[in-house]
Structure 1
Amino acid sequence: MKLYALMVFYKQDDTVKLLKAAYELGSFSFFQRGSVQEFMGFTGKILVERSAVPSRSSVKEQDYLCHCYVRADGLSAVVVADGEYVQRVAFTMLTKVLDDFAQKVPPPQWAAAKDEKEIAYAQLPELLAKWQNPREADAMTRVQEEVEETKIILHSTIQSVLERGEKLDDLVEKSEGLSAQSKMFYKQARKMNRCCSWV
């Protein structure tokens, strides 16, 4: 999973202006980086221009996905990612980036800015780096991966018990920790399950 660009735009009527951008183009050759950066900026601007206010959209271009979020106030963001980057995480990131941007840069500056340099917001490269690994940046992704790991461990544990040839019936029969009544309950439940499974 990889993020290549994170851009913040301001959409007002039919005009769209780039307010801030950060790029991670280390995977491209030195001579390609300028062209790739231009193309990503161009694509981001077109996506914001053609998106409704408010809206969220994702567009696939070859191996890349562009996720675009346009808020009701016209503040917009686009992230360019590879095809493996999870869409939910991308939109969570865009929401947080725009909220942080709106908090630190007042709305009158959005319309008045003529150039990226006029906007005092230096956090974009840091945010782009932070969200490169969704597991560290997004709590839900982290929890989901931990659940998957737990399922694998549980499956492995059950599999290892079955591989040893031990059957639950044999364990219950040999157990000294279960009363005769509990053993009888277990046997009756097994009979009922067998009976019902044939129906």
Structure 2
Amino acid sequence: MKIFSVSVVLAPPSAPCTVLSNGQDLSSFSFYQKGSVGEFMNFMSRTVAERTPQGQRQSVQENNYTAHVYNRGGAEQLAAVIVTDHEYPVRPAFSLLTKVLDEFTAKVPQSQFSNPSSISFPDINTYLAKYQDPSQADAIMKVQQELDETKIVLVSGAHNDQFMSNGAD
């Protein structure tokens, strides 16, 4: 499971989208691929944000990637997009999108949206790193993983007890 890109996009309903903030993890690509892959991630983020109606969430698959988008719309006209591999679960993806938009609107004044180069939002890289492991970032998924591990321990313990009692006969 891998997140390659997280973007906050200005997505007005009748105009082209603009990436306001972006974090990328392209460490799994070679030095020579990173530039073109990064450009592709930005293009994909803008395109899916433009094609997602305001107030909607959707996931779009393209080749080896899935773009999860949440176009919040509203007064800010913002959308958030993450580009992941196909294995990344949907619930943590949309949880991340909501958190990024909430944090971005709390820290970046709307007056700066018209000048994207003036926007500083380093938290996007923190979210990118934290959500690489969706079970650490999504509370429900983490609890489910712990329950599954406990169940494995209990089942294997029961089999060992049964084996030991059968072997003693």
Distance 1:71 1:42 in 2: 19
Matched residue type, 1:3:
I
Give unpaired runs (5+ residues) of structure 1: 167-199
Q: Which of 1 and 2 has greater Rg?
A: 1
1:81 aligns with 84
Matched residue type, 1:60:
Q
Matched residue type, 2:100:
V
Distance 1:32 1:120 in 2: 26
The alignment-based identity, stated in percent, is: 40
Superposition CA RMSD, Å: 1.4
Matched residue type, 2:26:
L
Alpha-carbon displacement from aligned partner over 1:112-131 (angstroms, at most 9, x marks no partner):
22xx3211222111221111
Matched residue type, 1:33:
K
5 Å matches for 1:59-70?
59-70=60-71
Structure 1: which 4+ aligned runs deviate by more than 4 Å? none
Alpha-carbon displacement from aligned partner over 1:92-117 (angstroms, at most 9, x marks no partner):
0110010000100122322x22xx32
- Report the Cα offset of residue 14 of structure 1: 1.7
- Report the Cα offset of residue 132 of structure 1: 1.1
Give unpaired runs (5+ residues) of structure 2: none
Q: Out of 97, 103, 111, which is 2:100 matched to?
A: 97
Alpha-carbon displacement from aligned partner over 1:1-22 (angstroms, at most 9, x marks no partner):
1110011101113221110111
SS of 1:13's equivalent in the other structure is coil
- Report the Cα offset of residue 165 of structure 1: 4.3
So what's the TM-score if we normalise by structure 1?
0.77
SS of 2:8's equivalent in the other structure is strand
SS of 2:145's equivalent in the other structure is helix
Q: Which of structures 1 and 2 has the larger relative contact order (alpha carbons within 8 angstroms, sep 6+)?
A: 2
So what's the TM-score if we normalise by structure 2?
0.90
Distance 1:13 1:53 in 2: 8
SS of 1:164's equivalent in the other structure is helix
Report the more deviating stretch, 135-144 or 54-63: 135-144
Matched residue type, 1:49:
E
1:137 aligns with 137
5 Å matches for 1:1-199?
1-15=1-15, 16-73=17-74, 74-110=77-113, 112-113=114-115, 116-165=116-165
Distance 2:155 2:63 in 1: 37
SS of 1:48's equivalent in the other structure is helix
